[in-house]
Amino acid sequence: MNCKDAQNLINGYVDGELDLVRNLEIEHHLQECALCSQGYKNHQVLRNGIKTGPFYFKAPVDLQRRIQLSLRKAAKAEAGPRVLPKWWLTIAAPMAAAAIVVLALVPFLRGPSADDLLAGEVISSHVRSLMATHLADVPSSDQHTVKPWFAGKLNFSPPVEDLARQGFPLIGGRLDYVDNRPVAALIYQRQKHFINLFIWPSGSDSDVGTKTVSRQGYNLFYWTKSGMTYWAASDLNNSELQEFVQLVQNQTSPTP
């Protein structure tokens, strides 16, 4: 089994949906491949986070109104002068109960968006790097040391800038696994706060403006520029992290 096969089957493996032969194959591969093993750990963290996180979505108001209107119309029809057969009365109540159940389940059927899931994955990678005291595979403040280190390890060349003069010194870089693929993680520091900047190809030439989200005490900024996707994660306050993001956007010049 190669890395591509393992990545295609990792979701089924995490959920216990594979047969015995496939389970043995992927377990053997995870023991030999550190990158895929890290990806498996990321999936486990994400799966546990979804189970315990506040991923609750309220049903759209328009949908609630339409279902309520349908129930009122049905009630008016039943109250008309026409005598309904007994068999209709026996099924009317279950039908109304079923409609109520559907209305209650709509928020859960929608589920978290792709950005919500990715945000959870980014936070997990950020927190894991701090807990494991393994911020960098290549600890260095020299961008000319960090950037060449990624050569041969990724199928793209991440832009690396030293922002020490602006108050965000480069600490180093490492390989990580986000969005089902290997990515570059650059580590910067602001006083006692660390910033993980995750970078990988976006698969699209269209730029996407900066978006931000706060989750579990962490601030996230993400955007797409020149065919590359960027996610910045830190417990740094929102305004200073935004300052860092603007510096990166002004100076980076990615080379896919």
Report which of residues 47 and 70 the model is more confident about. 70
CATH number at residue 195: 3.30.200.100
Number of domains composing the chain:
3
- Please give the C-alpha separations between residue 99 and each of 66, 69, 84, 158, 220, in angstroms, as whole numbers: 11, 12, 21, 52, 39
Examine the pLDDT at 254 and tell me if it is beyond 50: no
**3-state helix/strand/coil string of 19-56:** CHHHHHHHHHHHHHCHHHHHHHHHHHHHHHHHHHCCCC
Residue 190 Ramachandran class (φ > 0 left, ψ -120 to 50 alpha, else beta): beta
Examine the pLDDT at 255 and tell me if it is beyond 50: no
Report which of residues 233 and 204 the model is more confident about. 233
**DSSP state, residue 197:** E
Percent of the chain exceeding pLDDT 90 equals 34
Same domain for 127 and 204?
A: yes
In a domain, 159, yes or no: yes
Same domain for 187 and 153?
A: yes
Same domain for 173 and 201?
A: yes
Q: Which region among 15-29, 48-62, 193-207, 216-230 has the lowest average model confidence (pLDDT)?
A: 48-62
Note whether 195 and 244 are within 8 A (CB). yes
Examine the pLDDT at 107 and tell me if it is beyond 60: no
123-168: pLDDT as tens digits: 888 888 887 567 889 999 999 999 999 998 999 999 999 999 999 9
Domain end position, chosen among 110, 127, 151: 110
Same domain for 72 and 33?
A: no
The band of 79, judged by pLDDT with boundaries at 50, 70 and 90, is: low
The pTM of the full predicted model, rounded to 2 decimals, is: 0.57
Same domain for 163 and 235?
A: yes
Examine the pLDDT at 33 and tell me if it is beyond 70: yes
| Helix/strand/coil for 169 | coil
What pLDDT score was predicted for residue 188?
96
The band of 245, judged by pLDDT with boundaries at 50, 70 and 90, is: very high
Domain hosting 65: range is 61-110
